[in-house]
């Protein structure tokens, strides 16, 4: 039990630290064939980064625009003198955009993802802080924090490929002559999820062993009392 106590005091500190570091590495990677189009870190989601805006600034996207001879992101940000105008002299919107501007639904989806990914990030921060504080039932607290973080990351991994924002990114494939854009989960995502699960398993096991030890202690005490009574 003493060994478990030492491990329980030391394990959370590096675990939560690594989880926080993982948020600054790619959680998802979007590729066009074998070429990386853009990678999105966990922290990008926490701060609500627009994936399409990040894709727009990617070197590959710029080269693709040049090769295709069209703006992947519509007319926004381009020189008004170079735009077509209608009969009233008003600039026309680019109809050949492969990746249209963000819609209200996509914006709402991005906000939801920002809130969702903020939860495990905050759970890791809270867990790291509580690791240095002496409080009762610290193990139970770690189980709760890790469980919340793990479940949210698990849900994130399940729904990520159906995200409206990412579906808009994959729509680029239609304008690339059948090119395939794939979305894969990054190593950092899996590592953060596994570390949360590791903490759940360890502190769950510790709590189980503590309860088992207490039950055995009660049985021993009752047996000793019964023995002394017979004497």
Task: For residue range 7-20, list pLDDT tens digits in order.
Answer: 777 889 999 999 99
Burial (Cβ within 10 Å: 0-12, 13-18, ≥19) of residue 38? buried
Averaged over 50-78, what is the pLDDT?
A: 58
Per-residue confidence (pLDDT) for residue 94, from 0 to 100: 45
Alpha-carbon span 128 to 196, nearest angstrom? 12
Do residues 41 and 25 make contact, with C-beta atoms less than 8 angstroms apart?
A: yes
Encoded tokens for 162? 């159906």
Averaged over 56-82, what is the pLDDT?
A: 53
Which of 22-31, 68-77, 97-106, 193-202 is the least confident region? 68-77
Per-residue confidence (pLDDT) for residue 171, from 0 to 100: 58
Residue 149 above 70 pLDDT? yes
Give the tens place of pLDDT for each residue, 70-105: 554 454 444 434 445 455 555 554 444 445 566 777
Please report, for the chain, the start and end positions of each structural domain, with discontinuous segments joined by +. 2-71+106-230
Residue 195 above 50 pLDDT? yes
To which H or E segment does residue 40 belong? strand 35-41
């Amino acid at each position: 039990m003493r060994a478990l106590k030492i491990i329980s005091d030391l394990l959370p500190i590096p675990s939560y630290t690594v989880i926080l570091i993982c948020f600054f590495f790619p959680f998802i990677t979007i590729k066009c064939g074998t070429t990386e189009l853009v990678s999105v870190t966990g922290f990008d989601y926490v701060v609500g980064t627009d994936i399409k805006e990040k894709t727009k600034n990617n070197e590959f996207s710029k080269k693709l625009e040049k090769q295709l001879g069209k703006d992947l992101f519509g007319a926004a940000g381009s020189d008004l003198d170079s735009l077509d105008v209608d009969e009233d002299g008003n600039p026309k919107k680019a109809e050949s955009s492969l990746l249209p501007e963000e819609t209200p639904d996509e914006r709402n989806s991005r906000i939801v993802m920002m809130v969702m990914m903020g939860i495990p990030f905050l759970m890791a921060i809270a867990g790291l802080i509580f690791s240095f504080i002496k409080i009762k039932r610290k193990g139970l607290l770690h189980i709760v924090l890790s469980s919340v973080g793990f479940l949210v990351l698990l849900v994130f991994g399940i729904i990520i490929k159906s995200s409206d924002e990412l579906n808009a990114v994959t729509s680029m494939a239609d304008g690339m002559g059948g090119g395939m854009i794939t979305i894969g989960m990054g190593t950092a995502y899996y590592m953060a999820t596994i570390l949360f699960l590791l903490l759940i398993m360890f502190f769950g096991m510790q709590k189980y062993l503590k309860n088992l030890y207490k039950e055995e202690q009660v049985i021993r005490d009752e047996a000793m009392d019964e023995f002394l009574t017979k004497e």
